[in-house]
Amino acid sequence: MIKKTVADVSAALQGVEDGMTIMLGGFGLCGIPENAISELVRLGVKDLTCISNNAGVDDFGLGLLLHKRQINKMISSYVGENEEFERQMLSGELEVELTPQGTLAEKCRAAQAGFPAFYTPAGYGTEVSMGKETREFNGKMYVLEEAFKADFSLVKAWKGDEAGNLIFKGTARNFNPSMCGAAKITVAEVEELVPAGELDPNEIHIPGIFVSRIFQGKDYEKRIEQRTVRKRN
Amino acid sequence: MIKKTVADVSAALQGVEDGMTIMLGGFGLCGIPENAISELVRLGVKDLTCISNNAGVDDFGLGLLLHKRQINKMISSYVGENEEFERQMLSGELEVELTPQGTLAEKCRAAQAGFPAFYTPAGYGTEVSMGKETREFNGKMYVLEEAFKADFSLVKAWKGDEAGNLIFKGTARNFNPSMCGAAKITVAEVEELVPAGELDPNEIHIPGIFVSRIFQGKDYEKRIEQRTVRKRN
Amino acid sequence: MLDKNGIAKRIAKEVKDGYYVNLGIGIPTLVANFVRDDISVEFQSENGVLGMGPFPFEGEEDADIINAGKQTITTLPGASFFDSALSFGMIRGQHVDLTILGAMEVAENGDIANWKIPGKMVKGMGGAMDLVASAENIIVAMMHTNRAGESKLLKRCTLPLTGVQCVKKIVTNLAVLEVTEDGFRLLERAPGVSVEDIKQATEGTLIVEGDIPEMQL
Amino acid sequence: MLDKNGIAKRIAKEVKDGYYVNLGIGIPTLVANFVRDDISVEFQSENGVLGMGPFPFEGEEDADIINAGKQTITTLPGASFFDSALSFGMIRGQHVDLTILGAMEVAENGDIANWKIPGKMVKGMGGAMDLVASAENIIVAMMHTNRAGESKLLKRCTLPLTGVQCVKKIVTNLAVLEVTEDGFRLLERAPGVSVEDIKQATEGTLIVEGDIPEMQL
C-alpha cells in the first residue's frame, strides 16, 4: 500500500506558489475543501487562476480568497451570490472565463484520464464556441474543448484511507471526483481518515492512485446557502 | 420512482432482432450477462454484431452464440481462448474488428455520455489508426475514435433495485457500467433484485436512468477461466 | 392570464409517466408541485442527484444534500448520487426526457437566450448550455413579455444565445406555443386571454390555425 | 544468461518505492514475486483493480475477483475496484508509474510489436496499445532472440506495431539496454554473457560505451 497521508493542511499544500492554476471541488458551498482554502488564505499566495464551478459567497469559500485579492482569474460556470466578486470583475481586477457546467466537469475528467480534447454540443452557436473548432457528427454540431492543465487540485471527501482512496457523501461529490488526478498534485481533505483496509474496495469512489496527499480536515462549517424546509403536519 | 423491473429474461430481451448490434459486459467470463446470452441462444437471432471485450470460451459465454453461428461480427480487444472463434475467423465466416481495450471502454462511455468522438493516443502509428483522423495536441499524436452505436446493451450486476440502480462486485464491474445507457435499450440482470430504497444512494455505481429493464437472473455459473491458488503454509 | 403557479401547473401536464425531468431555477422549480400523483417521475438535478424529494423537515437539513439551486432537499426511495461528469453524461447523452427552464428571449427558430445581458453583471450559464444543446425535449417557462412590456417571443434573439434551434415548446402567462419551421404555432390560450392579446404580445411570427382552445388546468 | 525468473528478478530492481505498476502477461507477471519487501508498491490490473495481492488460498477463489490474465487473485488493504473506463483513465492519464510487458520485437527507435503475426491467428491487442501509447516508463521483458535464434532487437520492427517510440528500457536473458536517440545503449550484461555475445544477438544499433558491468541480482 502506498501511503498518501500527510500531517496537516500545511504539509498538504507544500509547493503552492504565486501564479499557479488551482482546481477546487465543490458546488456552491457544498463539498468545498474548507481547510485547503483557509490555508491558501494563510499562505497569502497571489495571482492564482482558480478552476471551480462557483466562486463562493462574500465571507466563505473562494470569497475568502477574493477578499484578499489572491485570485487573478476564475474559470467557472456560475459566479453569482458574491458582491466582492462582482466588484472586482466589473472593475477589471478579476478575469472571468465562463464555461458551461458540463464542459467544465469534462475538462477536468479529460485531464484526469489523459484525453487532450473532446467534442461537446454545449455552447455551439453561442459566444462560448467563438474561436474554437466546431464540427458536425451525425448531423449535429459540436465544439472542441481541451482538457484543463492545473498545478494543484484541492478536493474534499467524506471518508478516505491512508492509501488515498476516497468516498464522497451525497451531492458533496459533485466536481471533486473528476478533479482527482486532473492536476500535477491532488490534495484530498476528508472528514474521516481511516487505516487502509477499512473501506470496502467495492465502495470506493476514487482510487488512491489519483490522490497525491491526504489529510484529516477539521472544524468543518459546511455552510448551507439556501436553507429550504417544510413544516411537519 | 420509475420502475424498470420486468418478469424475466424473455421479457427483458423483447425486441431483439436479427442483424442488431449488441453490447455485452464482462471481461473474460467475469461479469458476463449469463442469462441474457442463454436467451439469445434460445431466441436464435442471427447476424448479430457483438461488442464485447472478449468472445467467451468454446462452451460458455459468447462461445455459445458463436457455436450456433449467430454472430456475424465481433468488436473486441482480445479473442483468444476460443477454438470455434478461430475456425470461423480464419474461414471468413466471422468478421472481427480488434480495438484497443481502453478505446473500447471509452467508445462505450462516449455513447453513454453523448460524446460523438474523442482523441486517444492508443493505436497511433499502428494499423488501428489506418483510415482514421490523427492529430497533434501538445506535441503528442492522437487518433480520433467515434462513439459506438448499438441497439441493445446487456449487462450483469451484483445488486440492483426496482428503479434500475446497479451495484457491481469486484472485477465483475469491468465494461458493464460504461455500457449502461450506451445502446437504445439497456437490459440489466442482477444476482439480487431489491425494492427501491434498499440500496444506499451513495453506493450506487450506475443510476437507474441508464437502465431500461432489470430482472433477477438465475442459475449463475460464474465460471473461472484460470483458477490460480496458493497452498496454505 | 396565468401567474407563475399557473404556468407551472400547465407545464406539469407535459410531464408524462416514466419521465426523468430536469427543472431549472424559478418557475420550472414550481412544476414539481403540480405533477400528478398517479404517474412515476424522477427529478434530476445536475449537481449530482436523481430522485429528488421535497424539502426536508425543519431540523433535518443536510448541507451535503442540495439541488442545483443550492437548496436543501431530500431524496426518495430509488434515488442516487453521482459526480458532475456522470450527471452531464445523463444530460448530454439524452437520458433525461424533459428539460424545463426559464428564458429572457426565445426566437421563432427555437434559439434561446437566458444567461447574459451585455453591460450587466453576468452570473454565468451554469448548466443551461449543456441542457439546451443536449435535450431532445425542452419546454421554456416564462412571462410572455418583459417588465417593459416588450415581447420575449422574437423573430431573432437580441441577447447572447444560450443555444440554437433547441426550444420545442413555450408556456407563458398568456399561451402555449410550439416552435415550428414557420414560427410560433399557437396551441392554447390562457384563461381570459384572446388570440388578439397573444398576437399583440408576440413579436415573432405567430401561426394561428382554426379555433384556439383555452388551457385546461 | 538469465532464465525467465532471472529477467523478472532484474526488472524488479526497477520498481521503486511508491510506484503503481501494471504487469503484462508472461515474464512481467513474475516480477511481483521479486519486488523488495521494504518498499511500497501497488499493482494495477487493467480489468479494474488496484492493490492486487497474491493468489487466493485453495477454496477461497472468487470468480468475481480476477486479474487481466483471468487468474483468480486477492486484494490487499487499500485496494479498490473500478470500471474499465476509469481503469484506462489511470493508464492514459499517466497515473501508473511503470508498465512492464513482453514483446516479439523492439526497434532501436523504441517501436514495439507484440500483438500480431500476419498469417497466424490474431488474438488481439487487449490493453497493450493503450498501455504503450500512454505510459511514460515502459520496460520490455523478453528473450533477446526468438526460437529461430534471430534477434528481437531490430533496426526496424517487421511485425505490425503495437506502439511507436515508446519503449524506454529492455531487459532480456542477455542484457539490460536503454533506448536512446542513437540506438540501443548497453547498460548491463547478464552473468556469464560477454559484450560480444550481446552484439551477436542484436540486429539493431548497439552502443557500447566503456566497461559494461555485470548485472547485480
The single residue listed with the C-alpha cell 511507436 is: D164
Q: Which of residues 170-199 of B touch A (CB under 8 A)?
A: 170
Share of chain A above pLDDT 70, in %: 100
Q: Secondary structure of C36-77 in the HEC alphabet?
A: CCCCCEEEEECCCEEEECCCCECCCCCCCCECCCCEECCEEE
The pLDDT value recorded for residue A124 is 98
Query: Which tens digits make up the pLDDT trace of B13-46?
Result: 999 999 999 999 999 999 999 999 999 999 999 9
- The chain A residue lying nearest B136, using CA atoms, is A116
The whole-angstrom distance between C50's CA and the closest CA on chain B is 8
For residue A111, list chain D residues with Cβ-Cβ distance below 8 A.
Answer: 93
The pLDDT value recorded for residue C121 is 82
Q: Do D78 and A181 touch (CB under 8 A)?
A: no
- Average pLDDT (B120-127) is 98
Write the residue in B114, B195, B207 that is nearest to C134 by C-beta.
B114
- Chains meeting C at 3+ CB pairs closer than 8 A? A, B
Residue D47 lies in a domain: yes
Which grid cell is D207?
552502443
The pLDDT value recorded for residue D30 is 93
Residue C215 lies in a domain: no
pLDDT for residue B90 is more than 90? no
Question: Which among C14, C42, C46, C58 is annotated as catalytic?
Answer: C46
Q: Which of residues 98-127 of B touch A (CB under 8 A)?
A: 114-121
Query: Which tens digits make up the pLDDT trace of D178-206?
Result: 999 999 999 999 999 999 999 999 999 99
Find the CATH number of the domain harbouring D176: 3.40.1080.10
Q: Is C46 a catalytic residue?
A: yes
Type of residue at C12: A
The whole-angstrom distance between B146's CA and the closest CA on chain A is 9
Instruction: Give the single-character DSSP code of B208.
Output: G
Write the residue in A113, A196, A208 that is nearest to D93 by C-beta.
A113
For residue A53, list chain C residues with Cβ-Cβ distance below 8 A.
Answer: 84
Residue D53 lies in a domain: yes
Query: Which tens digits make up the pLDDT trace of C56-95?
Result: 999 999 999 999 999 999 999 999 999 999 999 999 999 9
Please state, in angstroms and rounded to a whole number, the distance separating the CA atoms of residues D29 and D100.
9
Residue D213 lies in a domain: no
Give the start-to-end residue ranges of the domains of chain A: 9-115+148-216
Type of residue at B118: F
The yes/no answer to whether this complex scores an ipTM above 0.90 is yes
Query: Which tens digits make up the pLDDT trace of A163-195?
Result: 999 999 999 999 999 999 999 999 999 999 999
Query: Which tens digits make up the pLDDT trace of A21-45?
Result: 999 999 999 999 999 999 999 999 9
Write the residue in D49, D76, D93 that is nearest to A114 by C-beta.
D93
The whole-angstrom distance between A133's CA and the closest CA on chain D is 24
- Chains meeting B at 3+ CB pairs closer than 8 A? A, C, D
The pLDDT mean for chain B works out to: 97
Output the CA–CA distances (angstroms, integers) from residue A47 to A19, A21, A65, A102, B150, in the order listed.
5, 9, 11, 26, 48
Which grid cell is B68?
450456433
Number of domains, chain C: 1
Please state, in angstroms and rounded to a whole number, the distance separating the CA atoms of residues B231 and D56.
9
pLDDT for residue B86 is more than 90? no
Please state, in angstroms and rounded to a whole number, the distance separating the CA atoms of residues C24 and C142.
11
- The chain D residue lying nearest A183, using CA atoms, is D93
The pLDDT mean for chain C works out to: 96
Domain B9-115+148-216, CATH among 3.40.50.300, 3.40.50.720, 3.40.1080.10, 3.30.360.10: 3.40.1080.10
Instruction: Give the single-character DSSP code of A14.
Output: T
For residue A205, list chain C residues with Cβ-Cβ distance below 8 A.
Answer: 83
Query: To probe the interface with B, which of C20, C46, C80 has the most B CB atoms within 10 Å?
Result: C80
Please state, in angstroms and rounded to a whole number, the distance separating the CA atoms of residues B57 and B226.
12
The pLDDT value recorded for residue A233 is 74
Full domain range(s) for residue C26: 4-207
Beta strand residue intervals within B57-184, DSSP E: 71-76, 95-98, 117-120, 134-137, 140-146, 152-161, 166-167
Evaluate whether B62 touches D91 at the Cβ level (below 8 Å).
Answer: no
- For C62-86, b where at least 16 C-beta lie within 10 A, e where not — what string? bbbbbbbbbbbbbbbbbbbbbbbbb
The pLDDT value recorded for residue A95 is 96
CA quadruple C53, C59, C62, C67: dihedral, nearest 10: 40
